[in-house]
Amino acid sequence: MKKIVILLACSILVLLQPAQAQKPHSDLYNEIGVDAGPYSFGGGFLLGTVNFFTALGNTIGHQTYDMKYYGAYDIHYYRHVAHWCQVGVKATVEGSRTTRYTDSLRTAVKSIDDNIIFTVMPSVRFTYLNRPWVRLYSGAEIGVGYLFNKNQDFSKDDSEEEKGNNFFPAFNVNVFGVNVGKKFYGLFELNAGFESIVKVGIGARF
């Protein structure tokens, strides 16, 4: 873990260098993109734990409910600092909603629980196959996460709302990634951490 932190810190320092100092490297350019997938290992564990106890309580109380996942989404930015290395930052969001009903026919909503996870993580990516149209890469991220939860209770005359939040360390390992295209590209990744375990996306280089 200490090696990853040191590596990310060095990468960020390189990223913040003046553009004039980097111009001799003709293969340096910027990337920005968006990605989506079903859920992450980290987020799935946190949300899954919360939803497990929620479902358990609903089952014991014979409560009719629906539980839905929003999916996992992120936006990323990278700058090439070498032919084989890129540094940047990623922001992710994923969440779930539990809706409880007053009866088994679902005639009225009794309460709604929303749980949403946000992360911001500096990132470093290593490209081991770099061709004009195809790139294969792996990488790692470490940063901070934020878990927000909100409960709205409609069972009383005046609806009640409760909110909570927690910060936590966030991380991710990009086990495998491939993107195809030049100025505009599509990508596919496998991840372990706080990015979707399987995700696809699009991006642009400039």
Between 17 and 97, the more confident residue is 97
Query: Rounded to an integer, what distance in angstroms lies between the CA atom of residue 189 and that of residue 174?
Result: 7
Question: What percent of the chain clears pLDDT 90, i.e. is strictly above it?
Answer: 54
For the chain, the domain total comes to 1
46-104 per-position pLDDT tens digit? 887 877 777 777 778 778 888 898 999 999 999 999 889 999 999 999 999 989 898 88
b/e burial code for range 61-96 (CB count within 10 A of at least 16 → b): eebebeeebbebbbebbbbbbeeebbbbbbebbbbb
Distance between CA 117 and CA 121 in Å, rounded? 13
pLDDT in tens, 88-121: 999 999 999 989 898 888 888 888 999 999 999 9
Average pLDDT, the chain: 85
Q: What range does the domain containing 21 cover? A: 2-205
Query: Within 10 Å of residue 193's Cβ, how many Cβ atoms?
Result: 22
Determine the residue type at 13: L
User: What residues are paired with 66 via a beta bridge?
Assistant: 99
Q: How far is 90 from 180, CA to CA, in rounded Å?
A: 20
Q: Report residue 1's pLDDT band, with 50, 70 and 90 as the boundaries.
A: low
- 0.75 surpassed by pTM: yes
Assign residue 63 the CATH number of its domain: 2.40.160
